[in-house]
Chain A
Amino acid sequence: MENVWTIENVWNAIGMALQNWLAGFLPAWLVTLIMDLLVIVVLLAIGIVAVLILSFLERKVAARAGDRYGPNRWGPYGVLQPFADAIKMLIKEDIVPHVADRFSFNLAPVIVTVGAVMTYAVLPFGRNMVAANLNIGILYFAAVGSLSIIGLLTAGWGSRNKYALISAFRSVAQLITYEVPLALCIICVVMLAGSLSTQDIVLAQQERGWFFLLMPGIFILYFLAASAEMIRCPFDLLEADSEIVAGHFIEYSGMKFALFFLAEYIHLFAGSAMMVTLFFGGWLGPWLPSWLWFLIKTFVVIFVFMWIRNTFPRIRIDQVLKIGWKVMVPAGLVGLAITGFVDKLIADTLIAGVVLFVCNIALIVGVSYFMGRAQRQKEMAAEGAALR
């Protein structure tokens, strides 16, 4: 393969140069093994660096939204704060409750973190920059992403703590509920792109325009479902500190707690990156190199998640499940039907896009109308009961 040194594919070029150098004195199978392990190490490093940046950003955004400054003592503007946090986590005492189920207690953080890191394998960080260009990339992402439910359940059970167990119940209820609309939205995107591979989905958006513009309704559904999947506010019922203290990681301390923390932010980064891939054209963009575009878009989406977290209060678990089953699943099915019909019946890409956009706006207005009507009926019934 040719080795071109440009800003566009500097990372690919570095990898290729390393491979060529290794191939000079090592057998082929060893070169493949070393290169694959190196990719895994790089992905892990990206994960940890992303966590450092995100934990700092989270605190800063939360502070700014609340008219405060946030951490500003260590380093210029407090940028070294995540390292202080990391050192604190590492040197803290590791406590295991003596009634805990030691095996599952110790296993849980590993499952959660590994499940989170594995999602990085199919993220297209740039043109030709995906660790494993699977032809079932999206399916792999959805499957591995929900692996963490097992970890949360294990943590809740292993801690032998009421709050942790309640959180584990909620994780199963909530995450499985929101898998369904998430999958429905992904199917819409896959139908338009005609492929399950993340690279092909990005390339399809080059031809048809960003799917966010084509399907705003589906995008909003996906956004809500994804924030429930990532356990972000207002769907962070699993760690609702005002009711169940800290949720599944209540009994964890030190490095194991840090692993849960790590998994949470790795999920946030991976979920935002996948949203960029599906709806915002992935690494597409003018002038700048593709990997930089991908990072910029991802961080904008992450900022929106943080913004939402600092705006909305948490909703109750019954409301979460009610919205999931009564609103989002039907809306997702309708969206799926719309996308399917439009994609099949209208051959011209431009007209199909316009029709799809109009139908999606109608979907948003319709859902809003029906939810408003249900709310009014509920209020009228309550008034009637009060009068009687």
Chain B
Amino acid sequence: MYGTGLLKGLSVTLRHMIGTFVTDVRKFPRRYFRDGVHPTRSPEPYLHGAFSIQYPEEKVPMWPRFRGPLVHLRDPETGQPRCTACGMCERACPHGCIKVEGEGKGKERKPTLYQYNVGRCIFCRQCVESCPFNAIELSRFYELACYDKDTIWDLPRLLELGDKEEIKEQGQFWGET
């Protein structure tokens, strides 16, 4: 019969409308103000539920090889930074956004100054590839908006970010350790 397609279309939107409420009821006490990382969804065939992610409270998990800003790693035994200020990353960086100064000889050599300009970084991972001591890695952190142009991050901040992102080993999320 001519015109029944209209009813079919109406049923589709109604089903989706009801579907969002069904998923709301399922996770009843906390509807959408969930904290932290959003769980990955397996799509159900008919009752999808709402797909919106309430951003500041819910966040999408980044995929394993996401390339965010640089972080420094710690030696698991001593808790000190693994960096020996050899300057390989500084040389490898195509944009010159890394600046390293160090003091001491051999194994005692430690960085006195490590500046990483995240505003200039293109997240190419050349520095990580070139590092001979597995001391740095790219994080999966992506909220880089800031109020001023002071985008140079120093060593304590890079270490802190590495702790926060729970990166233990170089290539931890890359499947190459």
Contacts and interface: CB of A to CB of B under 8 A. Distances in A.
A65 B17 contact: yes
A250 B4 CA distance: 36
A65 B13 CA distance: 5
A310 B13 contact: yes
Contacts of A310: 13
A29 interface: no
Nearest to A72: B32
Contact of B19 (A67, A368, A369, A375): A67
A63 B48 CA distance: 13
A375 B1 CA distance: 12
B20 A64 contact: yes
A308 B52 CA distance: 22
A92 interface: no
A140 interface: no
Contacts of A307: 10, 13-14, 17
B17 A61 contact: yes
A308 B9 CA distance: 9
Given A69-B32, A307-B10, A311-B10, A64 B16 contact: yes
A372 interface: yes
B32 A311 contact: no
Interface in A267-322: 307-308, 310-312
Contacts of B13: 65, 307, 310-311
Nearest to B23: A67
Contacts of A375: 2
A311 B50 contact: no
A312 to B, nearest CB: 7
A208 to B, nearest CB: 28
Interface residues of B, number: 21
A194 interface: no
Contacts of B17: 61, 64-65, 307
Interface residues of A, number: 20
Given A307-B10, A311-B9, A69 B16 contact: no
Interface string A64-102: 111111001000000000000000000000000000000
Contacts of A245: none
A64 B21 contact: yes
B12 interface: yes
A151 B16 CA distance: 38
A136 interface: no
A23 interface: no
Contacts of A49: none
Contacts of B21: 64
Nearest to B15: A65
B25 to A, nearest CB: 13
Interface in A37-73: 61, 63-69, 72
Given A69-B32, A369-B2, A371-B3, A311 B20 contact: no
Contacts of B2: 368-369, 371-372, 375
Interface in B141-157: none
Given A311-B10, A312-B9, A65 B16 contact: yes
Given A368-B3, A369-B2, A372-B1, A68 B51 contact: yes
B46 to A, nearest CB: 12
A66 B32 contact: no
B26 to A, nearest CB: 15
A318 B14 CA distance: 29
Contacts of A72: 32, 54
A64 B18 CA distance: 8
B9 to A, nearest CB: 5
Contacts of B49: 67
B32 to A, nearest CB: 6
A72 to B, nearest CB: 7
A234 to B, nearest CB: 10
A368 B54 CA distance: 45
A69 B50 contact: yes
Interface string B17-37: 101110000000000100000
A135 to B, nearest CB: 38
A284 to B, nearest CB: 27
A161 to B, nearest CB: 33
A67 B52 CA distance: 8
Interface centre among B1, B2, B10 (most CB of A within 10 A): B2
B159 to A, nearest CB: 36
Contacts of B14: 307
A279 to B, nearest CB: 19
Given A61-B17, A307-B14, 4 more contacts: A67-B19, A307-B10, A368-B1, A372-B2
27 contacts: A63-B50, A64-B50, A65-B16, A65-B17, A66-B16, A67-B16, A67-B49, A67-B50, A67-B51, A67-B52, A68-B52, A69-B50, A69-B52, A69-B54, A72-B32, A72-B54, A307-B17, A308-B10, A311-B10, A312-B6, A368-B1, A368-B2, A368-B3, A369-B1, A372-B1, A372-B2, A375-B2
Interface of B: 1-3, 6, 9-10, 12-14, 16-17, 19-21, 32, 48-52, 54
